[in-house]
Structure 1
Amino acid sequence: MSARTENLVKAFGGLVVAWIIGMAIAEGLAAYGIDHWPLLGSVQAHITADATTYLIWQAVAIYVLVGGTIVYCAIRFRARPGDSGPPAYQRRYFGPFVIFWLVMSIAINLANTIYPGMVGLEQLWGIQMQAKHPLVVDVTAQQWKWTFSYPKQGITDVSKLVVPVGRTIDFVLRTKDVMHDFWVPAWGVKKDVIPNEIRHLYVTPTVLGSTKTNPMIRVQCSLICGNGHPMMRAPVEVLTKAAFKTWVSNNSF
């Protein structure tokens, strides 16, 4: 084995060791963050959280590999005091590596398109298709407030969103002015509200609570819509089915 090849083998070995150490640290931090995940308050939130968790694990591994290689090479092959002349090893490109990286990038992106992409969407759409009697809630957005109506229950234009736990809800989204985005962080999904268009978002809450008990349970516009955008929010309360019936009877006309 030539001296040049031997040095490259040692350098590669050092890179592998650095990657393993970096992976242990980074994946440990990722695991801590996942264990302290914000509230998952709906069936849909668990689906999106599973997808996000998978992509986090993958992104951390790739980031450590790429970022670690840059840092390692900057240290391992740095110019030292007294060095002069061109670097000992210098190549414009290395064909096998370029081909390998290209193939791996395409394969990873294709795999992600299938899972969690297509698989997750199929799960979300399946909930929507299987919902036989969803609770219909009309949501109206305008600068800078939300109003809610329950057409089948005879409740109109209330400023607080009240829903029962365990029942799929069909949010019918409209806007009176510009684009907004309907989002309850604890429910894990959101949808743009577009002028002159009626859109639907299906959510199945699974956790009792309210904005007072957990700020993640709130309606929040997540699309910049003007000066009042940061304050465009509305309180939410998730009740038991019995408590929701009582609320309906007290608020319907």
Structure 2
Amino acid sequence: MNAAKENLWKAFRGLVVVWIIGMAIGETLIAWGVDNWPILGSIQAHITADATTYLMWQAVAIYVLVGGTIVYSAVRFRASSMSDNEAPVYQKRTWAPFIVTWLALAIAINLANTIYPGMVGLEQIWGIQLDAKNPLVIDVTAQQWKWTFSYPKQGVTDVSELVVPEGRTIDFVLRTKDVMHDFWVPAWGEKKDVIPNEVRHLFITPTVLGTTATNPMIRVQCSLICGNGHPLMRAPVKVVTAANFKTWVANNSF
């Protein structure tokens, strides 16, 4: 093997070492972050968290590869690090194989991500919606800068606190009286824009008992800037047992 090829192989081996070390650090941080999610309080939150984690693993691998190549090349081939005799000899070559390889790899990764977590995750979320038997319907009304909730089948209207039973799929029927808002409970993962002159639906299945007082992630929060009072456009939430929900309905229905 001539000197030029030997230098290139040394560079390649060094880059592999940098990539492995960077991957180990990055993936360890991701694993720590996943173990410390604030709260996953619904089935939908677990689905979206799994998708996010999967894509983060990929992102770290690509980021470390690209960033590691830049840093390693800047250090390994800096002008003062080798003599003229040691410097690798470059020759004119076509870039076509390199371009075709990376295009094929990028297309393959994007197609794979479209299938999973894309289509698979959406099928899981839509499956919950389609398979829901007797979902709890809650009318949600947004307006600057407050939320009100009504339970039409239970006879509870215009309450300012959202109370839901654990383990039951809920059909949130979203409307706004003025501008565009966004209905979001951080612990439940998903959110939905509330658009003027439209009725929109968001299906959530809470799985963790709790209240806003015990965990601030369990709260209704507008996540779309809607005016001066936007930061304060929130509402308390309680996730209770089915028995406690029946008691609450009995005490608040007309």
TM, length-normalised to structure 1: 0.95
- Tell me the amino acid that sits aligned with residue 235 of structure 2: A
Matched with 1:196 is 197
Runs of 4+ in 1 over 4 A off after TM superposition: 81-84, 90-93
**1:216 Cα deviation from its structure 2 partner:** 0.6
Unaligned regions of 5+ residues in structure 1, if any? none
SS in 1 for 2:102: helix
**Number of residue pairs matched by the alignment:** 252
Give the drift of 1:73: 0.9
Matches of 2:97 and 2:155, distance apart in 1: 68
Structure 2 match to 1:236: 237
Alignment partners' CA distance in 2, 1:93 and 1:249: 77
1:73 aligns with 2:88: no
Q: 2:168 touches 2:206 (CA, 8 Å); kept in 1?
A: yes
Deviations along 1:148-177, one digit per CA (max 9) or x if unpaired, are 011111111111100000110000000111
**What aligned pairs does 1:17-56 form with structure 2 within 5 A after superposition?**
17-56=17-56
Instruction: Describe the shift of the 1:91–1:170 C-alpha distance in structure 2 as closer, same or farther (beyond 3 A).
Output: farther
Q: How much does 1:89 deviate?
A: 3.8
Cα-to-partner distance string for 1:181-219 (whole Å, 9 max, x where unaligned): 111011111111111000000001011000001011000
Letter in 1 for 2:25: I
Structure 1 residue 87 displacement after superposition: 8.7
The answer (yes or no) to whether the contact 2:7–2:88 under 8 Å persists in 1 is no
Alignment partners' CA distance in 2, 1:87 and 1:5: 8
Shift, 1:70, TM fit: 1.0
Unaligned runs of at least 5 residues, structure 2: none
Q: Which residue of 2 aligns with 1:245?
A: 246
CA separation of 1:55 and 1:82: change in aligned 2, threshold 3 A:
closer
The sequence identity of aligned pairs, in percent, is 79
Say yes or no: does 1:144 pair with 2:151: no
For residue 58 of structure 1, report the CA deviation from its aligned partner.
1.0
Which residue in the other structure is 2:62 paired with?
Answer: 62
Give the superposed CA RMSD.
1.8
Measure how far apart 1:82 and its partner are: 10
For 1:82 and 1:6, the matched residues in 2 are separated by 14
In the TM superposition, residue 75 of structure 1 has moved relative to its aligned partner by: 1.1
Question: 1:60 corresponds to which letter in structure 2?
Answer: V
Q: Which residue in the other structure is 1:157 paired with? A: 158
Give the secondary structure class of the aligned counterpart of 1:103: helix
Q: Which residue of 1 aligns with 2:7?
A: 7
What TM-score comes out, normalization by structure 2 length? Answer: 0.94
